[in-house]
């Protein structure tokens, strides 16, 4: 069977290797001229690593470095930007997501989504004295720490919420994380609300506070890429709508990774993308949304968030001078696990999540 994949993400690469092993012919269409790489690792290039260090190992797929501009569903063809066509029996969309951007026209503002973005940032850092990162989510915090470590510049994180990682943590752990970031040399400015930015990079918060910076890195979320799917009549919402086989409303077209939406959710996480890649065009596998989870590991900073807290949960805190773990139990069931400054129980907590804890597990986790 001839399978065409649009996009060369970790989801695409994982699916491609499996499908080739199963005897299919795979063609990958990618508009990026750089060799395929793990997008989640692009900030490692700031650490003097090369593209080779984050490259995706090649397989025997055919790679076409052109942009797909149209899907002709009737004729089972993908039209490329040079008007050539690629025919398919099955088509997998792995087109990823796009960064949300500020409505400001300035060459001092940058969102980091590709290798070329990192290269541009490296040039900008050479003449800068300070950097601001807008967005206190996982990617924003990673960017802040790695920029600070690579450049030695003053770096400030600006977050509209009352604490960083507000989608992953409750306030006590978010505030502890801010303290740990401060110890690494990162300023954390919360309660910023909606900010306005002038070209000279005077950043004004909703309450009137101002911050001057030479560079503004934006990390304010992503939106799934749906234009190709929408233009050819596939069902789209926030993402490209799929069922538990990752199939769209066209029996021969599938979507995986950041662009896919299943049961109203677009996880936009590597773990979900890998799960989708294992399930797509697999006869006996069905995809299901996993419990919410997030892991931050940068320099000496570690943070883990798993599951979700409900009104019935009881909070159990295990604390050391350098770390805090929080176990939220609904009865004996582990509903959520938060950790800041450690990840030692991450694997065991993930295995135990949403299940009743035995007395031995409680003892192992130091829950009293």
343-366: pLDDT as tens digits: 999 999 999 999 999 999 989 999
The structure tokens 């924003």 sit at 140
Which CATH number covers residue 198?
3.50.50.60
Averaged pLDDT, 112-129: 95
pLDDT at 156: 98
Beta strand 202-204 pairing with 210-212? antiparallel
73 burial via Cβ count (<10 Å: 0-12, 13-18, 19+) = middle
Query: Is 265 a residue whose pLDDT tops 90?
Result: yes
- Neighbouring CB atoms inside 10 A of 161's CB total 16
What percent of the chain has a predicted confidence (pLDDT) above 70?
100
Query: Is 199 a residue whose pLDDT tops 90?
Result: no
Please state the pTM of the whole predicted model: 0.92
- The helix (H) or strand (E) run that includes residue 271 is helix 270-279
Q: Are residues 208 and 69 in the same domain?
A: no
pLDDT digits (tens, 9 = 90+) for 207-244: 999 999 999 999 999 999 999 999 999 999 999 999 99
The structure tokens 């560079």 sit at 215
**CA–CA distance, 191 with 188 (Å, rounded to integer):** 10
**CA–CA distance, 21 with 18 (Å, rounded to integer):** 5
Of residues 260, 264, 281, the one with CA closest to residue 272: 260
- The helix (H) or strand (E) run that includes residue 156 is strand 154-158
**CA–CA distance, 42 with 367 (Å, rounded to integer):** 38
Q: Are residues 108 and 88 in the same domain?
A: no
Q: Are residues 90 and 226 in the same domain?
A: yes
Q: Are residues 113 and 146 in the same domain?
A: yes
Query: Is 33 a residue whose pLDDT tops 90?
Result: no
Of residues 281, 283, 284, the one with CA closest to residue 89: 281
Q: Are residues 137 and 209 in the same domain?
A: yes
pLDDT at 152: 94
What pLDDT band is residue 21 in, cutting at 50, 70 and 90?
very high
- The helix (H) or strand (E) run that includes residue 339 is strand 333-340
Output the CA torsion 216→220→226→228 (10° steps): 10
- Neighbouring CB atoms inside 10 A of 183's CB total 9
Residue pair 133/147 in contact by the 8 Å Cβ criterion: yes
**CA–CA distance, 256 with 277 (Å, rounded to integer):** 7
For the record, the structure tokens of 88 come out as 């398919």
For residue 285, tell me if it sits in a domain. Answer: no
For residue 246, tell me if it sits in a domain. Answer: yes
Residue pair 199/42 in contact by the 8 Å Cβ criterion: no
CA distances from 311 to 11, 107, 195, 315 (A): 36, 46, 33, 11
Query: Is 91 a residue whose pLDDT tops 90?
Result: yes
For the record, the structure tokens of 264 come out as 């109203």
DSSP conformational letter for 58: P
- Supply angle C-alpha 358, 333, 177, rounded to 5: 105
For residue 358, tell me if it sits in a domain. Answer: yes
pLDDT at 298: 84
What pLDDT band is residue 319 in, cutting at 50, 70 and 90?
very high
**CA–CA distance, 90 with 57 (Å, rounded to integer):** 23
Average pLDDT of the chain is 94
For residue 286, tell me if it sits in a domain. Answer: no
For residue 130, tell me if it sits in a domain. Answer: yes
Which CATH number covers residue 315?
3.30.390.30
For residue 229, tell me if it sits in a domain. Answer: yes
Count structural domains, the chain: 3
Residue pair 27/5 in contact by the 8 Å Cβ criterion: yes
Q: Across-strand partners of 247?
A: 254
**CA–CA distance, 183 with 303 (Å, rounded to integer):** 15
Averaged pLDDT, 172-179: 95
Would you say the C-alpha torsion 232, 31, 112, 266 has a positive or negative sign?
Answer: positive
Q: Are residues 124 and 150 in the same domain?
A: yes
DSSP conformational letter for 55: B
The structure tokens 């960064």 sit at 99
For residue 15, tell me if it sits in a domain. Answer: yes
pLDDT at 368: 78
What percent of the chain has a predicted confidence (pLDDT) above 90?
85
Q: Which domain holds residue 249?
A: 2-98+222-279
Averaged pLDDT, 87-108: 94
């Amino acid at each position: 069977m001839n399978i065409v994949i649009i996009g060369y993400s970790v989801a695409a690469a994982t699916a491609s290797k499996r499908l080739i092993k199963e005897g299919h012919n795979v063609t990958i269409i990618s508009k990026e001229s750089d060799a395929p790489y793990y997008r989640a690792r692009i900030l490692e290039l700031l650490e003097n690593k090369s593209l080779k260090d984050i490259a995706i190992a090649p397989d025997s797929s055919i790679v076409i470095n052109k942009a797909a501009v149209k899907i002709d569903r009737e004729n089972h063809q993908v039209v490329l930007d040079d008007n050539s066509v690629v025919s398919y029996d099955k088509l997998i969309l792995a087109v990823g997501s796009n960064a949300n951007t500020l409505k400001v026209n300035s060459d001092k503002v940058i969102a980091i989504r590709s290798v070329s973005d990192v290269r541009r940032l490296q040039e900008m850092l050479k003449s800068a004295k300070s950097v601001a990162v807008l967005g206190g989510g996982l990617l924003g915090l990673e960017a802040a720490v790695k920029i600070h470590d690579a450049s030695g510049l003053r770096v400030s994180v600006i977050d509209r919420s009352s604490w960083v990682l507000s989608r992953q943590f409750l306030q006590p752990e978010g505030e502890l994380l801010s303290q740990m970031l401060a110890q690494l040399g990162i300023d954390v400015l919360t309660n910023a609300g909606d900010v306005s930015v002038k070209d000279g990079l005077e950043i004004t918060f909703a309450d009137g506070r101002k911050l001057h910076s030479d560079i503004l890195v934006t990390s304010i979320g992503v939106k799934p890429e749906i234009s190709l799917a929408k233009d050819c009549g596939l069902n789209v919402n926030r993402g490209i709508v799929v069922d538990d086989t990752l199939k769209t409303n066209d029996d021969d077209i599938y979507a995986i990774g950041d662009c896919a939406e299943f049961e109203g959710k677009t996880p936009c996480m590597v773990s979900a993308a890998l799960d989708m890649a294992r399930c797509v065009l697999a006869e006996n596998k069905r995809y299901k949304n996993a419990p919410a989870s997030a892991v931050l590991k940068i320099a000496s900073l570690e943070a883990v968030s798993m599951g979700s807290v409900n009104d019935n949960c009881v909070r159990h805190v295990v604390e050391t001078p350098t770390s805090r773990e929080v176990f939220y139990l609904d009865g004996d069931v582990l509903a959520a696990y938060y950790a800041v400054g450690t990840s030692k129980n991450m694997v065991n907590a993930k295995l135990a999540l949403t299940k009743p804890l035995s007395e031995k597990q409680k003892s192992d986790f130091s829950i009293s």
